Chain A
C-alpha cells in the first residue's frame, strides 16, 4: 500500500512516515499543499494523510480540489484544532476520516489501514471469529465452546469492534468514537473498565487468552500472546 503524507511540521512528518513504514506501507511525504496536489494527481495512492494547516494551499482546499477532479483516494485529515466544526467541514468536503492532534501513532496507523481496506471492501461475514470465540452479529450472541455469554448493548458493540479489528491494536480514541460515539476524551477509565469486564466474562477460565493490553497504546484481540 502506498500512502502520501502531507504535513508541514518536519518532526511530525518524520515520525508519521517512520510509523507507517514500520507498519509496512510505502510512504511519500510532502510539506505544502501545492506539492501535495501535484503528487496526488501524478501518482495513484491508496490513502492520503492530510494536515489541514499547510503553507500555501491548505488541506481542505487540496481535498476539495481532489474531489472536484473525481479523485476518490481515501483521505485522513489531521488537524491541530480538533474542533467539531472543522471535523464536520472536513467530512462534508469529502474526507474519509479525521484525527485531532495530538494523536497516538497507533491510532493513525490503524486508521490508515482501515482506509486502505475501505477500498477493498470489508468482510461481510455475519459471524466473527477469533480462536474459539464466535460472535453472531445477527443474533448478537457470543459463544466460546459450549458457553454462551450475556452481553449488554455496549459490551456487544465493543466486542464486535475489537473482533472486526482482530490482530490489530485499537487505540482508546478509536474505541470511544466507534463504540461510544464520543468525539472527546472523557478522561475516565471507561474503556479500561469495559475491557476488564469483557475479559472477566470471556477470558476467565479459558485458554488461550484473547484480550491483550498494549500499554500506552490500546487493546487488541488475538489468539497468540
Chain B
C-alpha cells in the first residue's frame, strides 16, 4: 500500500472519530436541552448554547485531530528517519550491508530499494578499483624484476664505459624507488581487502623505541639534527613486531626528512591509563593547517614547493595509520608551522607477562 493511500485512510479514520465525537456530544446537548426545556420552560440563548458546544466539543475535537495528525505524520515518517539513520552509517567499509527495508511496497520502501541498488553499484566500483590496484601492483612486479635483472646483468660487463655505468646505476636507483612505491601500494591494497594478517604477539614496545632511537641518532647525524629520547616506560603491547617497526621508522623518516639543519627531534613513550602513548616531535617547516587533514592520504605530498626535494614514496603516513589502526590504536598529527610538528601514537597496552 502506498503512503498516500495509507495516510488518506488513516486520516479518514481520525476525522470520522472526531466527527462522531462532535455529533455525539451535540446530540447529547440537544437531548438534554429538550428534556430541560420541557421541565422549566426556560430557554438558554442560542449564543450560549453554541459556545457551550464549541468549548465542550469543538476544542476537544481540535486537540484530538491535532494529536491524531501528529501521530499519523510521525508514523508515516518513522521509516524515513530510520532510513536516514542507516544511510548516515554508510562508508566504504559498510557498503556491502544493505539498508533495512519494510517490505510493504510503499514509497519509502521503494526509496530504500533504490538506495540499496545505488549502494551495490558503489560497492561494485569500489571493489573494482581495489582489485585493479591489487592486480596492477602485482603485475608491475614482473616487469620490474626483469628490468632490475637485466640492468644488473649489463652492469657486470667489465668493458662497460663509465658513462653507461653511471646511467645504469641511476636507473637502478629509480627502479628501487619504484619498487618501494609498488610494495607500499601492494601492502595497502592488500590491507584494504583484508588479506594482510598480522602476526601479533606480546612484545616490549620500549625495546622497539630504543632500537629506533639508536637508528635515528645515526640517521639524523648528517644534518646535525639532535635526537632525544626523553622518557621510555617499560611497556608491553600485543603487536606485529615487523609492522610496528615499520610504523615507527616511517614516522622517524619524516621527522628527519622534514626537519631543518641543526634542528631537533624528541621522542617519549609513556603509559597513560591502559594506553601506550608514543610522541615524536620535530622542528622544521611544519605543515600548514589547510593540508594537515590530508597528510594521511595516499600519495599526498603536501606543498609541491617544499616537498619536491624530499625523496619518498608518498605512502609512509598512510601505511603508518593503517598499522596503528590494525593494532586498535590511533595516530594523530599536530603542527605549528615553522615551529614544531608532533605525532602522537596511541596503542592499547598489554598486561606485562609474568616472569
State the A residues within 8 Å of B (CB).
9, 11-12, 15-16, 18-19, 22, 80-85, 88, 100-106, 152-154, 180-190, 193-194, 197, 215-217
29 examples of A-B residue contacts, CB within 8 angstroms: A9-B142, A11-B150, A15-B149, A15-B150, A15-B153, A16-B149, A19-B152, A80-B138, A80-B141, A81-B141, A82-B186, A85-B195, A85-B196, A102-B145, A180-B215, A180-B245, A181-B241, A181-B242, A183-B242, A184-B183, A184-B246, A185-B183, A186-B249, A187-B312, A190-B218, A193-B221, A193-B222, A217-B152, A217-B155
Do residues A19 and B153 form an inter-chain contact, with CB atoms below 8 A? yes
Known: A100-B183, A154-B215, A184-B246. 10 other contacts (CB 8 A): A15-B153, A18-B153, A19-B153, A83-B186, A84-B199, A85-B195, A101-B142, A105-B148, A186-B253, A194-B218
Chain B residues within 8 Å of A154, by CB:
211, 214-215
Closest-by-CB residue of B relative to A9 is B142
Interchain CA distance A202-B214 in the complex, whole Å? 19
The answer to whether B175 touches A102, judged by C-beta atoms less than 8 angstroms apart, is yes
Closest residue of chain B to A152, judged by CB? B214
CB-defined contacts of A80 to chain B, threshold 8 Å: 138, 141-142, 145
Let me know if B245 and A182 touch, CB within 8 A. yes
Contact partners of B180 in chain A: CB under 8 A:
185, 187
Q: For chains A and B in complex, what number of residue pairs have CB atoms within 8 angstroms?
A: 122
Please tell me the number of chain B residues within 8 Å of chain A, measured between CB atoms: 50
Is there an interface contact between A102 and B190, defined as CB atoms closer than 8 Å? no
- Assess whether B218 is in contact with A102, with CB atoms less than 8 Å apart: no
Q: Which of A18, A184, A193, A197 has the largest number of chain B CB atoms within 10 A?
A: A184
C-alpha spacing A107/B219, complex, angstroms: 24
Give the A-binding residues of B (Cβ under 8 A): 138, 141-142, 144-150, 152-153, 155-156, 168-169, 172-173, 175-177, 179-180, 183, 186-187, 190, 195-197, 199, 211, 214-215, 218-219, 221-222, 241-242, 245-246, 249-250, 253, 256, 311-313, 316
- Cβ contact within 8 Å between A216 and B253: no
Check A187–B253 contact: CB distance below 8 A: yes
With A19-B152, A105-B153, A182-B242 as known contacts, state yes or no: A85 contacts B197, CB within 8 Å: yes
Interface of B is mostly: helix
Residue in contact with A102 in the complex, picked from B179, B187, B250, B316, CB distance below 8 Å: B179
Cα A35 to Cα B183 with chains together (Å): 31
Q: Which residues of A contact B241 (CB under 8 A)?
A: 181
Q: If A15-B150, A85-B196 touch, does A101 touch B214 (CB 8 Å cutoff)?
A: no
- Interface hub of A81, A152, A153 (most chain B Cβ within 10 A): A81
Once the chains bind, are B146 and A11 in contact (CB under 8 Å)? yes
Known: A105-B149, A188-B253, A216-B152. A12 touches B245 (CB 8 A): no
CB-defined contacts of B219 to chain A, threshold 8 Å: 188-190, 193
Cα-based distance from A193 to B183 in the complex (angstroms): 23
Partner of B138 from the list A12, A81, A105, A180 (CB cut-off 8 Å) is A81
Contact indicator B142/A215 (Cβ below 8 Å):
no
B142 touches A216 (CB 8 A): no
- Distance between Cα atoms of A15 and B150 in the complex (Å): 7
Contact present for A83 and B242 (CB under 8 Å)? no
How far is the CB of B229 from the nearest CB of chain A, in Å?
Answer: 14
Q: Closest Cβ of chain B: how far from A132's Cβ, in Å?
A: 26
A19 touches B186 (CB 8 A): no
Known contacts A18-B153, A22-B156, A82-B141; A190/B196 CB under 8 A? no
A100 to B186, CA, bound (A): 12
* Residues on A with beta carbons closer than 8 Å to the beta carbon of B176: 185
Q: How far is the CB of A152 from chain B (nearest CB, A)?
A: 6
